[in-house]
Amino acid sequence: MAQRIRPPAFRAPSPSRCRLLVPNPTGRRSAVHRLRLRPEHPWLKPRSSGEESAEQYNLLSMARVLILGAGASRFAGYPLGLELWAFIRDTGTGERMAKERAEAVIDAIERVLQVLPPREFDRPDLEQLFTLLDLAEAGTEPLKLAKIDWPSLRPKLMGMIANAFQWHQYQLQVRLREKGDPVEVVLDAWASRLRARDTIVTFNWDLLHEAALFRRGKWHYSDGYGFACGDAPSGYRSGLKVLKLHGSVNWGQRDEQDCNPAIEHKADFFLGAQDDHSVYLRGAGQWNEGRYMIIPSYLKDLSSNRLLLNLWNQAFDALSAAERVTVVGFQLHPADALARQLLGCALTRNPNSFALQVVSPAGGVDHWATFCDGIGRRLERIRMTFEDWVLEDGEAALTTPIPQE
């Protein structure tokens, strides 16, 4: 049974706790990673005065926001943008209705790809493709795409996405029962860096991060998504928030006015959890009921969905008050107007002077430099993948204070 979530009491780490033994999935460094006591890391200094203790406490209690994109889940087998179509097309449970839905979606998308072939074989840009379909639905009919019945295809696509992502997560969690799995090592290290008061803002649909945090007692579905779960056990509160701004594959809204959707398949993904009987039946029998996720498109519109509006407002509040913001694996495309407006408005209002940390691998393409120039915020780049950052530099990067301007 899951443990009740309580904010951890502050305790300065002792030297004996500063040696972390983990397997080495990267193969580039020793399997023994040491967290050394360094002068530039005041949170690691022994307590020697009331002033030092106050400084340590302030560092460990600062309000932090971590923004996650697809790059923060790729190490666990989830796709990046150009890999999405192959992922949802080729991942399936084998269930008959799921196969029928997938066949209808695949047939329609393949016909679209004949009109607009991808630049790279089998790697279509779905965001561009779905934008054109949105425009066709609005009456512009680019490239004769109006012949595709996009209004009826869209919910089938949402169901197909939910099916593929849930099945991948289920298979992954079965695999993670084996000790020493490289993915589990990364998730252990990631969870150890997070604490109460942290807010994760994610644009991903997958369940990877909240499932891992639930297993480690740092997050709970009772209120951890930013809304109350109707069939959660009483007396549980989440230590941190996971705000999923594009929706989630396990949410079932009755309609777009529903601000407290059912959280489905809890027993499958949150160890020890149980589903209310009615929630279970709906999740098992209605393949697309309530799948109001934001699919990739440059014409994203969440104005009619009260749940998503509420979550975007919570993200704005967290970003406006944050004392540290770290972005991992999120490109911030110039055409992603909603995300750019959210981040620009919130960080411009934020009175705290800190550099925006962006974690992305060397050679990766993103648009944070011009964005930070535009809003007058300094940029601190960390050229690493999510998994390397978590295993090697994540602790220091999340806790070491950045010099003020």
Burial of 226 (C-beta count, 10 Å sphere; 0-12/13-18/19+)? buried
Q: Give the C-alpha separation, 265 to 162, whole Å.
A: 12
| Residue-level pLDDT at 212 | 96
The SS3 assignment for 25 reads coil
pLDDT at 173: 94
Instruction: Name the domain count of the chain.
Output: 2
269 and 329 together in one domain: yes
Residue 25: predicted pLDDT = 37
Domain that holds residue 355: 15-78+179-399
The three-state secondary structure class of 123 is coil
Residue 1 domain-assigned (yes or no) = no
Do residues 123 and 257 share a domain? no
Residues 286 and 384 in one domain: yes
- Phi first, then psi: give them for residue 138, nearest 5 degrees: -80, -10
Tokens encoding 250 = 């396990």
Are 97 and 209 within one domain?
no
**pLDDT given at position 59:** 52
pLDDT, one tens digit for every residue, the chain (405 residues): 444 444 333 333 333 333 333 333 334 433 323 232 222 222 222 334 444 444 444 555 689 999 999 999 999 999 999 999 999 999 876 677 778 888 888 998 998 888 889 999 999 999 888 888 888 777 766 556 657 788 888 888 988 899 899 999 999 999 998 888 999 999 999 999 999 899 999 999 999 999 999 999 999 999 999 999 988 998 899 989 999 999 999 998 888 888 989 999 999 999 888 887 665 555 554 544 446 788 888 888 888 899 999 999 999 999 999 999 999 999 999 989 999 999 999 999 999 999 999 999 988 788 999 999 999 999 999 999 999 999 986 555 565 555 444
Question: d(Cα 146, Cα 386) in Å, to the nearest integer?
Answer: 40
What pLDDT sits at residue 278?
Answer: 63
Q: Whose structure tokens read 């490109």?
A: 331
Residue 8 is assigned to a structural domain of this protein: no
Residue with tokens 């498109």: 297
The pLDDT assigned to 17 comes to 33
**Which of 144, 169, 194 is the last residue in one of the domains?**
169
Do 259 and 270 have their domain in common? Answer: yes
Q: What phi-psi label fits residue 197: left (phi over 0), alpha (psi between -120 and 50 degrees) or beta?
A: left
Query: How close are the terminal C-alpha atoms of the chain, in Å?
Result: 47
pTM value is: 0.81
Residue 73's pLDDT is 98
User: Which CATH number does the domain housing residue 222 bear?
Assistant: 3.40.50.1220
